[in-house]
Amino acid sequence: MRRVLFILLCTLYLSDIHAQDITVIDGKVFQLNDIKNIKVTNENKTFDGKLPELLSKDKSISLFYQALEATHLNDSLIAYIDMDYSVGKDSTDWTNDNLCIPAAQEYDNVAYMPVRYIKYTVFAEPDEVFANKYGVTNLEGLKALARQLYDPMYPDDAGISDLTDRRNSLNRFVAYHMLPFQASYYQLTAVDGPNSTLAGLFNRRKLDIADWYETMMPHSLIKFSFPIGTASGLYINRRGIMNRSDSRGVMIEGAKVATPEEMGNNIAVNGIYYYVDDILAFDQNTQNNIIGAERLRIDCTTLSPDFITSGARGHYTKSDIEDGKYGLEGQKANAENNSNTCLGFKGQFTKNFKFDDEQTHVHVRNRVLSFYSYQGDEVIFSGSFDVTVKLPPVPEGDYELRLGSCFGYGCRGVVQYFFGTENNMVACGMPQDMRPDGNSIGWESDKNLGNTLAIQNFDIEFHKKGWMKGIYYSSSENPNGTNQIDHRYQPETLRKIITRFHSDGKSDYYLRMKQVLDQPTIAMAFDYIELCPKCVYDNEYYNEDKW
């Protein structure tokens, strides 16, 4: 199908049909001016025009849609196909031997997207939520609610009345409900289905499964979590564990997202939307008690909207587990015998990532069970790479930036880290040799350390050296470490402390990773990052948990 699609696109170009006039839906090529007449069904739901049009037809969210129109943010949900995208001579199906990329002990069979889609996800409060919980029944009431939420957080912008200004309170309110990628209910966390084997790898009695994303409100972050037990489901900006307070005694319910079964026709050609049962806001409560008060452990496959919309995040390969959902098979250097299929990305067309395709190759590894990787997948940099990544925005405060990765392989190379704003980045210490494992820097297993106090003292000293052990992942606190994906028990799976910094809550911050060895077979696993606030890493009352 991918090869046929690529040929069709090339044929259209050669037939003097302008690139701006075509689009592709479900593998079929159409004229853009016919887009409103296209209906393609998928899982018994209908794609019917663009996302704003679909939202306008749902009368149960009429007040939210009024605000969307009043702020003109409906215009930000129109894009669908990047007509400037091109992959040139690169493979768009998994048949190119030159794109079997070595990564540690395996080879990843890489292909590129023939089309770069641009899509969105929107969360909307039904009218009854505004009315019943907040007494809001019209646009003026919603404006007043938005001022109440955002003016205390942004007092300098309190007088901005232009609803189209991104600093206006209603504009902020609406934009915070929008994500710059399409993700279904089971794509927003590692709970990837109603009976998710992947979710079963986490110890969910210690921590709820969670992921964080940048929204379309400038400099804002949103949290999704999926607890188990009586509170099971997908939540936004929730804090706690299961149906109880977290280890610091805090419980914030958050807003629950409607399940796919509770939604009707909610998928458009360029996005998807969901109901929520409470308001969403990046207000003082969210910034001070959730986003700015918890350790943010962020899987690197969430850092670009392109990784998500393309399906690269959570992409599976063939195996005999769950009807082919997971697995790592065919780790061969030639495409014909390698079923470990991965999606590659280009520097010019990967939002939040900057790299030169001539020296840097980037692809997202497919999701694999029982692997030295958080959530089972990771972003791979290979070649003499030099990659700059825009980090997720965090509220004002002091933070520690950490990188979780798999060390101890000869192909990992030596990396120099840089951090800062886009035009002011500084080196973070000396280049880090990623080829030795933790034993070379004094790593010791909990089993050998013995008692709890000795383990705690080791962690303190290890942290002073700029390192942390990996995380407890799936099993109980078992010092025998029989489960290979319990990262704390492995000297290969470590967290490197990159730097500490102060966020002003308004600026964008970047992490640059430059390979200093000139070897074509170098491959770095960019697995997860942690943005840890000072109230967590340096708290006189609570030690940071090991989970």
Per residue in 277-292, pLDDT (tens digit) is 999 999 999 999 999 9
Amino acid of residue 442: G
pLDDT computed for residue 336 by the predictor: 85
Are the beta carbons of 256 and 235 closer than 8 angstroms? yes
Residue 331 β-bridge partners: none
* 335, two tokens: 């495409």
3-state secondary structure at position 229: helix
Position 130 confidence tier, pLDDT thresholds 50, 70, 90:
very high
Residues 357, 48: Cα–Cα separation, whole Å: 36
Q: Please write the tens of the pLDDT for every residue from 56-66.
A: 999 999 999 99
Residues 356, 468: Cα–Cα separation, whole Å: 31
Tell me the residue ranges of DSSP E strands in 206-301: 209-214, 221-226, 235-236, 255-256, 267-268, 271-275, 296-299
Residues 199, 260: Cα–Cα separation, whole Å: 18
Residues 460, 13: Cα–Cα separation, whole Å: 61
Q: Which of 492, 478, 396 is nearest to 443 (CA)?
A: 492
Q: Crossing angle of helices 62-70/127-134, nearest 10°?
A: 100
Handedness of CA 52, 56, 60, 66 (dihedral sign): positive
Is pLDDT above 80 for 483? no
pLDDT computed for residue 48 by the predictor: 66
Instruction: Give the mean pLDDT of the chain.
Output: 87
Is pLDDT above 90 for 103? no
Handedness of CA 354, 355, 357, 362 (dihedral sign): negative
Are the beta carbons of 495 and 374 closer than 8 angstroms? no
Cα angle 389, 390, 393 (rounded to 5 degrees) comes to 145
Q: Please write the tens of the pLDDT for every residue from 65-94.
A: 999 999 999 999 999 999 999 988 778 988
Q: Which of 513, 462, 506, 510 is nearest to 488 (CA)?
A: 462
Is pLDDT above 80 for 401? yes
Residues 148, 140: Cα–Cα separation, whole Å: 13
pTM: 0.90
Position 300 confidence tier, pLDDT thresholds 50, 70, 90:
very high
